[in-house]
C-alpha cells in the first residue's frame, strides 16, 4: 500500500464532474477543463466575477512521485513499461481528485471568510497576457529562493 495521497483514487471523471458542480454552485460563470496528452498535464480554467483562474496539474509528475515511492522491481508481475503506464494512468486519475479537493478547499475557505478570492487563487489568476500571476512572479524573480531541503 502506498502512503502517497490519491495513490488508490478511482474517481477521475467523477472528480471532474464534481469540480464543475462545485464551481458552478459557488457562482462561477465559465468553466473549461483541458488535457494535454503530450505533456501529461490537465488544466482547469474558470471565471468568477470577472477574474479568470487557471490551475494546471501534471499526471507525469504524480506518476514520477509514485515510482519514487515504490520503484520498479523485477518481482512485480508486469514489465517496467507496463508498470510505468499503470503509474501514469493512476496519475491521470489522481490529479483530477487532487484538483477537486484543492478547489473545494479554497472555495470553502472563501465562503467561511478565511481567505478572500484573490488570496485563495492569487497564483492562478490569469493576467491579460495569458500568464498566471505565479508565472509572472517567477519570471521577475520577485520571491526569494526557499532555504533548506524540500520536505
DSSP-assigned letter for residue 127: P
Whether residue 93 is contained in a domain is answered as yes
State the pLDDT at residue 1: 43
State the pLDDT at residue 2: 62
Dump pLDDT digits (tens) for 90-131.
999 999 999 999 999 999 999 999 999 999 999 999 999 999
Whether residue 31 is contained in a domain is answered as yes
Whether residue 6 is contained in a domain is answered as no
State the pLDDT at residue 101: 96
Tell me the pTM: 0.86
> Count of domains in the chain?
1
| CA 104, 70, 83, 39 torsion-angle sign | positive
Whether residue 7 is contained in a domain is answered as no
128 to each of 53, 75, 116, 140, how far by Cα in Å? 11, 52, 21, 17
Measured distance CA(47)–CA(28) in Å, rounded? 5
- Give pLDDT < 50 ranges for the chain: 1
Whether residue 65 is contained in a domain is answered as yes
Helix pair angle (80-111, 59-69), 10° resolution: 120
Residue 52 sits in which domain range? 12-140
Amino acid at each position: 500500500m502506498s502512503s502517497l495521497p490519491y495513490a488508490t483514487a478511482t474517481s477521475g471523471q467523477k472528480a471532474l464532474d464534481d469540480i464543475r458542480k462545485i464551481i458552478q454552485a459557488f457562482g462561477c460563470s465559465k468553466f473549461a477543463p483541458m488535457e494535454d496528452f503530450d505533456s501529461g498535464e490537465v488544466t482547469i480554467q474558470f471565471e468568477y466575477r470577472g477574474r479568470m483562474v487557471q490551475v494546471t496539474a501534471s499526471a507525469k509528475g504524480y506518476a514520477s512521485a509514485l515510482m519514487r515511492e515504490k520503484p520498479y522491481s523485477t518481482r512485480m508481475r508486469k514489465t517496467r513499461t507496463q508498470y510505468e503506464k499503470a503509474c501514469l494512468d493512476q496519475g491521470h486519475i489522481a490529479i483530477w481528485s487532487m484538483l477537486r479537493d484543492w478547489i473545494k478547499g479554497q472555495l470553502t475557505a472563501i465562503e467561511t471568510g478565511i481567505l478572500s478570492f484573490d488570496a485563495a487563487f492569487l497564483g492562478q489568476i490569469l493576467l491579460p497576457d495569458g500568464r498566471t500571476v505565479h508565472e509572472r512572479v517567477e519570471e521577475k524573480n520577485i520571491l526569494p529562493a526557499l532555504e533548506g531541503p524540500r520536505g
